[in-house]
Amino acid sequence: MSQSRSAAGGKPVNPLVASLTPLVVDAGIPIASYYVLSSGFGLSTLAALGWSSVVPALRTVWGLVAGRGVNGLALLILIVNVVGLAMSAVAGDARLMLAKDSAVSSVVGIAVLLSVRTKRPLMTAGLKPWVTKGSEAGDAAWERLTAGSERFRRAERRFSAIWGTALLTECVLKVVGAYTVPVETMVWLGTVLTVVAVLLAMLIAGGSCADPMEKMVKAEIEGGAAAADAQSGAVGAETGVVAGVAP
């Protein structure tokens, strides 16, 4: 599997690890900490839910700081988390705390779907490194295809549309579950729904969009290399002819 360079240390970063890290931080750590705090430390359901939301919130803040700028989507997620936590604390309703997680999915899902009509859909940031393998030739091929291939742009938009639809579906299921399923069950079931939604989106979007785009980029790179070799050969031949007729 290909690797790309991290912006900070210049060390190779596996794209799969980079993609799964947010899922582990935002889903794996919160559910594990919930059960540790509620069972191991005896905290109430509300308190355990509140404290288990700290790590994802800190990750979002760090993303804003480390990025040396304001990421509108990340900032929106942070605001939704903070407002949802504050509302839940005031109301004392653990189910509201669970339901507010679906608000994050819905906001992100809607934003992703709306971005499909723009020149750069939101999911492109995660798609491009996989398709181009992080290489300069791949990035250049991506830019050429984006500028000249409607089929390529359509696949790029469809990739984000699939992800946005998956996130909105997850949102609806989690809202329904938050008010119909026992809180203790919904804590882990909500994570299961998130994982299933992500895996299905990866499977569908990968097979119908990412794989064809990757083949198109590969063909574009090979075509560019062949054209460069042909041009180099032509220049060499012309140079030889000029040298042969020189006095």
Percent of the chain with pLDDT strictly greater than 90:
20
Looking at the domain assignment, is residue 237 inside a domain?
no
Query: Is 236 contained in some domain?
Result: no
pLDDT tens figures, 35-90: 576 666 666 655 665 666 666 666 666 665 665 554 454 555 556 556 655 655 55
Residues 90-134 have pLDDT tens digits of 556 778 777 776 766 687 788 889 989 888 888 887 788 888 887
Give the three-class secondary structure for 17.
Answer: helix
Query: If we measure between CA atoms, which residue out of 50, 131, 129, 32 comes closest to residue 94?
Result: 50
Q: Which of 101-110, 130-139, 203-212, 229-238 has the lowest mean pLDDT?
A: 229-238
The Cα 128–Cα 12 span in angstroms is 16
pLDDT of 245 reads 52
The residue-averaged pLDDT of 240-246 equals 52
Contact by Cβ (8 Å): 162, 204 = yes
- Residue 48: which of 16, 85, 19, 22 has the closest Cα? 85
Quote the strand ranges of the chain, DSSP E. Answer: 4-5, 12-13
Query: What's the pLDDT at 169?
Result: 92
Q: What percentage of the chain has pLDDT greater than the value 70?
A: 51
Residue 167 has pLDDT above 80, yes or no: yes
More confident residue, 18 or 133: 133
**Number of domains the chain contains:** 1
Host domain of residue 36: 11-230
Evaluate whether residue 146 is within a structural domain: yes
pLDDT score at 1 = 41
Tokens 């299921």: give the residue. Answer: 173
Where does the pLDDT of residue 212 fall: very low under 50, low under 70, confident under 90, or very high at 90 and above? very high
How much is the pTM? 0.63
With respect to residue 149, please indicate whether it lies within any of the assigned structural domains. yes
Has residue 247 been placed in a domain?
Answer: no
Answer whether residue 20 is part of any domain.
Answer: yes
Q: Residues near 1 by Cβ (< 8 Å), separated by ≥ 6?
A: 14, 15, 16
**93-97, 148-152, 226-230, 242-246: range with highest mean pLDDT:** 148-152
Is 152 among the domain residues? Answer: yes
